[in-house]
Amino acid sequence: MFGAIGTGILVLALLRLAQPIFAPLFFSLLIIALMWPCQLALQRKLPRLVALFVSLTLTMTAILVLGSSVAWGLTQLGHWLFLNAERLQTIYTVWADWLELQGIPVMGTLSDRFDIRWLVGFMQSMAGRLNSFAGFAVLVLIFVMLGLLEVNEFGARLASPHAQPYGDRILVANRAIAAKLRRFMIVRTVASVLTGFVVWIFTLGMGLELAAAWGAIAFALNYIPFIGPLVATVLPTLFAVAHFGSWEMAVVIFASLNIIQFVIGSYLEPQLTGASLSLSPFAVIFAVFFWSFMWGVSGAFIGVPLLIAFVVYCEGAPSASWLAAILANKPPEGPDA
């Protein structure tokens, strides 16, 4: 038992230290699972390399759309903050004075740390980090290219007699994982587009500046469960305080955005996903925070897909089917269920 625990700790330490390799590798495996049906359909009508080029182009386009949505939204926000720096400083001073009158001292604690230039620099650095994902995206595309070229050969090796009995089990599990990941990402994309559109319409109707930026940020960050919607809700709320100069309007916007996120994320999305992808909320939260700790933003993005893969493999192992039943919040679907 202690040997297994020690091995697990060493594996996690290796994954953490080798983040520059393993993060794009796992990300590419997700993309391969999503893109393989498209690649297979294209190969029936086009030469293999031409089909691969089309698949890689679609993949790169999707990555650029997601990254550019957040980067563009944060850049617009940073530009607005720069143009309205004096106004924000005035609002801060007024609020700090009011809190001082209520017996809450903040000038001595926050004034040394609050600097609008720091806030602007922080927003610009976030946008810069998103724009610096070029190297990550290139490595992901290399892995995806090699992986798509080898899917058939890898399946044949797993089906060979020398790989039995584990080869067939891995094949069955991989097919189930790929099908669930495709359904998960399709539903997530529909929910993200709907969330971004509704947030854009709502903020536009409320007269909040940068409505398009809030919609773009909500669309992209909705792919990261819990953390993404939280950030996409808090940012416009803080912005509303500066824009309207009224905490009442900020409360209205905060409550409305949370209602939007709740209706789409907690009602509509589970209805579209169905029981086959039902996961324990605690397991989802843990997966998102754990993998974000391990690999940052990329880990937060693929935390839930990794959890889905883990649950499927547990379902196929009789000794771990109980763990799958707990994490999936339903009875296991394996042959021993």
Q: What is the pLDDT of residues 205-222, one digit of tens each?
A: 998 888 999 999 999 888
In this predicted model, what pLDDT tens digit does every residue of 5-39 receive, in sequence order? Answer: 778 788 888 888 888 888 888 989 999 998 888 88
Which two three-digit tokens encode residue 306?
Answer: 């990794």
- Evaluate whether 184 touches 308 at the Cβ level (below 8 Å): yes
Q: What is the pLDDT of the chain when averaged over all its residues?
A: 80
Residue 226 phi, psi dihedral angles, 5° rounding: 65, -60
Q: How far apart are CA 105 and CA 103, in angstroms?
A: 6
Residue from 241, 12, 255, 222 nearest 119 by CA: 241
CA 284, distance to chain mean position in Å, is: 12
User: What's 112's DSSP letter?
Assistant: T
In this predicted model, what pLDDT tens digit does every residue of 75-103 receive, in sequence order? Answer: 787 777 777 767 666 766 766 666 667 66
pLDDT at 79: 77
Answer whether residue 246 shows pLDDT above 50. yes
Average pLDDT over residues 233-241: 86
Tell me the three state secondary structure of residue 104: coil
Q: Is the pTM of the predicted complex or chain greater than 0.85?
A: no
- Evaluate whether 310 touches 321 at the Cβ level (below 8 Å): no
- Evaluate whether 168 touches 158 at the Cβ level (below 8 Å): yes
Answer whether residue 336 shows pLDDT above 50. no
Bigger pLDDT: 241 or 23? Answer: 23
Q: How far apart are CA 144 and CA 33, in angstroms?
A: 10
Tell me the three state secondary structure of residue 313: helix
Which two three-digit tokens encode residue 329?
Answer: 């919040």
In this predicted model, what pLDDT tens digit does every residue of 288-316 receive, in sequence order? Answer: 889 988 888 888 888 889 999 998 888 88
Answer whether residue 117 shows pLDDT above 90. no
Average pLDDT over residues 176-200: 91
pLDDT band for position 270 (cuts 50, 70, 90): confident
pLDDT at 214: 92
Which two three-digit tokens encode residue 93?
Answer: 């001073």
Question: Is the preceding omega at residue 305 within 30 degrees of 0, hence cis?
Answer: no
In this predicted model, what pLDDT tens digit does every residue of 124-163 receive, in sequence order? Answer: 565 555 555 667 778 888 888 888 888 888 888 888 888 7
Residue from 245, 255, 257 nearest 201 by CA: 257
User: What's 267's DSSP letter?
Assistant: I
Residue from 172, 177, 178 nearest 310 by CA: 177
pLDDT at 337: 42
Which residue in this structure is represented by tokens 């946008």?
Answer: 127
Answer whether residue 256 shows pLDDT above 90. yes
